Amino acid sequence: MEKNAISDLMGTSMAQIREMVDVNTVVGDPIQTPDGITIIPISKVTFGFGSGGSEYPIKEKSGIGGGGAAAVKIEPIGFLTVKDGNVRMLNIGQPAGTTVDRLVEMIPDVIDRVQDFIEKNKEKKAEKN
């Protein structure tokens, strides 16, 4: 396939999109807090691209007509927090709309509480022995 101005136009547009949308856009740079918590921003990236054109003869030369468009939407969705080896996702999106969604969001907290309860019981039993 012969390289032409239309493919150059498309290549330039795609290169610009690659610059805007890289892995650091989705998973941000970690932020360290003074109390030892690491916060990592997480975003949702949506993009679209369209391009087209045509070659047409003009007297002895040929010309082209073409255009391209691209759109990028970056939407923060939450933060990963790392504290004492525990990783937790803090969502900043829409609140849960149904009871099932709310229950699913509560599962990590319930598991943490159950684990704390079990550990405290083990410590009490160890103190008695």
Tens of pLDDT, residues 21-77: 766 677 888 999 999 899 999 888 887 777 777 777 777 776 777 777 777 788 888
Q: What is the pLDDT of residue 104?
A: 74
pLDDT confidence tier of residue 3, bands split at 50, 70 and 90: low
SS (H, E, C) 62-93: EEEEEEEEEEEEEEEEEEEEEECCEEEEEECC
Tens of pLDDT, residues 10-34: 777 777 777 777 666 778 889 999 9
Tens of pLDDT, residues 79-114: 999 988 888 888 886 666 677 777 777 777 778 888
Q: What is the pLDDT of residue 1?
A: 42
Percentage of residues of the chain with pLDDT beyond 90: 8
Q: What is the pLDDT of residue 4?
A: 64
> Within its chain, how far is the Cα of 31 from the centroid?
16
What is the domain partition of the chain in residue ranges?
1-93, 94-129
**Quick check: 77 and 43 in contact, CB under 8 A?**
yes
Average pLDDT value over all residues in the chain: 78
